[in-house]
């Protein structure tokens, strides 16, 4: 695709986010859009946001678990930039009218003390670079009508990121068993979904190494202080009603928020 066309896709998706009005599937409107073009679109979107005062604070991996790929009809993970403007404080109230069609995911987040760069990044490299882990919520929200997405579409839409909520119980990796930690989502005190961190490519440290190596193709290095979201441990749950969400990793911590 021409650079001008990639910018057209970015403009359309930014307008959809701003107006809370979804657009038709980008690969239908721009049939030449492929995965590489989709990543270039999200890079353009991130660069424009940073020019307007936003800040790059990390990276995300999505659809790494099979339950997530099955739910959204994808057969490959997606990934995207994390911008400071998408982070929401725990305990604040989320207004669904500010988004389009939301889903809730529970996942660990890693905060780095050292850099990571691929190719050939290993799990040991990731362990050495992580300062601490935090329970996190990613709220995904597609700017594509009815979530009718293929990989190029969700990449262009920055991995369908809506909002991120970090919890308040940071832990060193040696205090956790990320190979086998159960996570649950509860809505209005009723359990609606559960999963295990083993669903995240065996463990979320492996998923992080995968992401580092994948983004090395775009000359991206992860830097100290950045937040990394390695993917959900369970199938995303639609956020269709007002109420209270309680999202817990057993033996670790809980993230709670309200929705109107």
User: What pLDDT, in 10s, does the model give residues 76-124?
Assistant: 788 999 999 999 999 989 999 999 999 999 999 999 999 999 999 999 9
146: left (phi over 0), alpha (psi -120 to 50) or beta: left
Specify the higher pLDDT residue, 1 or 152: 152
pTM over 0.85: yes
Number of C-beta neighbours around residue 221 at 10 A: 12
**Domain residues for 245?**
3-259
Do residues 84 and 57 make contact, with C-beta atoms less than 8 angstroms apart? yes
- Residue 68 binned pLDDT confidence (cut-offs 50, 70, 90): low
Per residue in 197-206, pLDDT tens? 999 999 999 9
Q: What is the domain-level CATH number for residue 172? A: 3.90.850.10
Do residues 82 and 159 make contact, with C-beta atoms less than 8 angstroms apart? no
Q: What is the mean pLDDT of residues 219-224?
A: 97
User: How much of the chain exceeds pLDDT 70, in percent?
Assistant: 96
Residue 75's pLDDT is what?
57
Do residues 112 and 222 make contact, with C-beta atoms less than 8 angstroms apart? yes
**Structurally, how many domains does the chain consist of?**
1
């Amino acid at each position: 695709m021409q650079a001008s066309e990639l910018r057209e896709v970015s403009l359309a998706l930014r307008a959809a986010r701003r107006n809370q009005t979804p657009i038709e599937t980008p690969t239908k409107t721009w049939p030449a859009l492929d995965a590489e073009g989709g990543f270039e679109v999200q890079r353009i979107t991130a660069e424009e946001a940073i020019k307007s005062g936003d800040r790059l604070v990390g990276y995300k991996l999505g659809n790494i678990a099979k339950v997530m790929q099955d739910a959204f009809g994808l057969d490959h993970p997606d990934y995207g930039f994390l911008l400071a403007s998408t982070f929401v404080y725990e305990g604040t109230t989320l207004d669904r009218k500010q988004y389009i069609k939301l889903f809730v995911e529970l996942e660990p987040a890693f905060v780095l003390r050292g850099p990571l760069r691929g190719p050939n990044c290993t799990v040991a490299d990731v362990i050495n670079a992580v300062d601490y882990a935090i329970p996190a919520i990613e709220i995904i929200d597609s700017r594509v009508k009815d979530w009718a997405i293929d990989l190029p579409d969700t990449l262009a839409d920055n991995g369908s990121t809506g909002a991120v909520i970090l919890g308040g119980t940071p832990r060193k990796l040696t205090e956790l068993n990320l190979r086998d930690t159960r996570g649950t989502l509860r809505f209005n005190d009723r359990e609606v979904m559960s999963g295990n961190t083993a669903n995240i490519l065996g463990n979320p440290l492996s998923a992080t190494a995968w992401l580092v190596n994948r983004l090395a193709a775009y000359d991206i290095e992860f830097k100290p202080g950045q937040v990394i979201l390695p993917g959900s441990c369970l199938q995303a749950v639609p956020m269709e009603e007002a109420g209270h969400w309680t999202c817990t990793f057993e033996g670790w911590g809980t993230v709670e928020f309200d929705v109107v």
